[in-house]
Amino acid sequence: MTAMPDVGIQSFGAYIPRRRIARSTIAAAHAWALPNLKGLAKGEKSFCGWDEDTITMAVEAGRDCLRGQTAASVSSLLLASTTAPYADLQNAVIVGSALRLAPTTSAIDLGGSTRAGLSALITACRSRDAQQLVVASEKRNAKPGSTQEMQYGSGAGALLVGEGSGLLARFLASESVSVPFVDHFRQSTEKFDYSWEERWIRDEGIAKIVPRAVKALLERIGRSSEQLAWFGLAGGPVGADKLVAKTLAIAPERILPDLQMQVGDTGAAHSLLLLIGALERAKAGDLIVVASFGQGCEIVAFEMLQPAAATGRRGLAGSVAKRFEETAYLKMLSFSGDIEIEWGMRAETDNKTALTTLYRASDQIYGFIGGRCESCGAVQFPRLATCVNCRTAHTQQPFALADEPAKLATFTADWLQYSPAPPMYMGLVQFDVGARLLMEIVDVGPAGIDVGTPLEMSFRIKEKDRLRHYDRYFWKAVPTS
């Protein structure tokens, strides 16, 4: 009887929005009414720009994961989120199109619980369906003045699952517990979570459910808690991971950094981000166990086979480090839609998307695929019937620009044209392969930009249709530093 090949993780990627706000800034804004928030005012949290959401973050994490990999070999895309923008539209299809996955790739949305990220990973490992891309992405919303506003962050993690040789980590086993223990919930018509009392969640939920499940998993794979090299827990209050580790006699130095001080609780994405943090630290032979709490728990165990080689990926560490601080609390509220600013008549536009045109040009819009002339080699966007350089007709072959390096040739900062994040930076982007394109430049930090600034491409929301609620996506330029 032929032994089944090992299945596990082949690659990983992450994305954390660059914008971070100090919790002390949030607490100071509410000090007149809620002075108790000062006790939660340590560290900072990530938050999305107005043009970022679950889909855009998932694309960026997926791109990071697929660096050095063949996107065409991915057979399935599993997108886990509790904050996906569309309820009756396959969010994963948009993500797959932007990642330039094959049209035959199965695209699946998963949600309903913040443990959905780890559930998706376990499903992929158990199914053994060629190469599968598992992405968990979350743009977490919180009511202004709530403790969740202080705790929640946004981010995405991606893992490429496959079998055979070349694995970074081997899947050992998983454990699932499903019980009607409700720690928080959000009805489908609501924007914000309702959370129960923290001590009840910690003492009656996590402390009694998670350790038993971890022990059962370790017994099944013939390992002990002393053999654990890395342990992480998502879905619990701050410090819950340390409580479980103490119960299981796991040494404090083996607990994965919980990301709470730099990013915040990223919901369905958090367990995958913890696992990615372990993959970045682990050495061959290390045993990794990550758990995700939520109406029970999901637990997964991996054995590290080889250190993660440098492939140009940003990873979790690089994404956390790539940041700039926002000091305006009202900007965060405006970006999340929790306050409506009067932008004047320039904002009174109808941004209806022509779905027919979107479909016909979907590879150019979602995949950022331009054309390269077979006659002269010139690269251009959009891809047209005639080459802009040699004027030869019907010589354009598809050429992807999303991963091509570029520099800023010219730019302007426009305070008059409407933008939800003024000023609007527009500029002529010069790609190293020769293409030139007028693009919007976003995520410009305090250092600003100048002619010659290195740029990379980022999948973003181009326009929001507030009448029909169908957002238009495209690519924007972002400073690399």
pLDDT in tens, 421-442: 999 999 999 999 999 999 999 9
Task: Return all residues near 165 (Cβ < 8 A) that are at least 6 apart.
Answer: none
Beta bridge partners of 184: 195
Q: Give the up-direction half-sphere exposure of residue 236: CA atoms within 13 A in the CB hemisphere.
A: 30
* 481 and 443 Cβ atoms separated by less than 8 Å: no
Q: Is the pLDDT of residue 277 over 60?
A: yes
pLDDT digits (tens, 9 = 90+) for 111-124: 999 999 999 999 99
Q: Residue 471: phi, psi to the nearest 5?
A: -80, 145
CA 124 vs. chain centroid, Å, equals 18
Summarize the confidence of residues 375-391 as an average pLDDT.
95
**pLDDT, tens digit, 9 for 90 and up, residues 327-339:** 999 999 999 999 9
Best CA proximity match to 462, nearest among 358, 389, 383 = 358
> Can you tell me which residue has the tokens 């699946």?
108
Q: What is the third-level CATH fold of 352-367+402-479? A: OB fold (Dihydrolipoamide Acetyltransferase, E2P) (2.40.50)
Residue 307 burial class via C-beta count within 10 angstroms: exposed 0-12, middle 13-18, buried 19 and up: middle
Q: Given this model, what pLDDT does residue 312 score?
A: 82
Q: Answer for the pair 14, 156: CB distance below 8 angstroms, yes or no.
A: yes
Return the axis-axis angle of helices 54-65 and 91-98, rounded to nearest 10°.
Answer: 40
Average pLDDT over residues 460-475: 94
pLDDT band at 4 (very low <50, low <70, confident <90, very high): confident
Every domain of the chain and the residues it spans: 7-335, 352-367+402-479
Q: Which amino acid is at 4?
A: M
What integer pLDDT is reported at residue 1 of this predicted model?
A: 47
Cβ density class 320-354: b for 16+ within 10 Å, e for less: bebbeebeebebbbbbbebeeeeeeeeeeeeeebe
Read off the tokens for 195.
Answer: 């959370």
Strands 7-15 and 169-178: antiparallel
Order of strands, sheet of 369-373, starting from the edge strand that comes earlier in the sequence: 379-380, 369-373, 396-400
Q: What is the pLDDT of residues 163-211, one digit of tens each?
A: 988 899 999 999 999 999 999 999 998 999 999 999 999 999 999 999 9
Q: Which fold has domain 7-335?
A: Peroxisomal Thiolase; Chain A, domain 1 (3.40.47)
Residue among 17, 319, 62, 275 nearest 168 (CA): 275
Buried b or exposed e, range 6-26, using 16+ CB within 10 angstroms: bbbbbbbbbbbbbbbbbbebb
HEC string for the chain: CCCCCCEEEEEEEEECCCEEEEHHHHHHHCCCCCHHHHHHCCCEEECCCCCCCHHHHHHHHHHHHCCCCCHHHEEEEEEECCCCCCCCCCHHHHHHHHCCCCCCCEEEEECCCCCHHHHHHHHHHHHCCCEEEEEEEEECCCCCCCHHHHHECEEEEEEEEEECCCCCEEEEEEEEEECCCCCEECCCCCCCCEECCHHHHHHHHHHHHHHHHHHHHHHHCCCCHHHEEEEEEECCCCCHHHHHHHHCCCCHHHECCCCCCCCCECHHHHHHHHHHHHHHHCCCCCEEEEEEECCEEEEEEEEECCCCCCCCCCHHHHHHHCCEECCCHHHHHHHHCCCCCCCCHHHCCCCCCCHHHHHHCHHHHCCCEEEEECCCCCEECCCCCECCCCCCECCEEEEECCCCCEEEEEEEEECCCCCCCCCEEEEEEEECCCCEEEEEECCCCCCCCCCCCEEEEEEEEEECCCCCCCCEEEEEEEECC
Cβ(23)–Cβ(9) under 8 Å? no
pTM for the whole thing?
0.96
Query: How confident is residue 3, by pLDDT bands cut at 50, 70 and 90?
Result: low
Q: How many CA atoms lie within 13 A of 349 on its CB side?
A: 12
Q: Does the structure show a pLDDT above 50 at 222?
A: yes
Regarding beta strands 169-178 and 154-163, do their DSSP bridges make them parallel or antiparallel, or are they unpaired? unpaired
Determine what percent of the chain is predicted with pLDDT higher than 70.
99
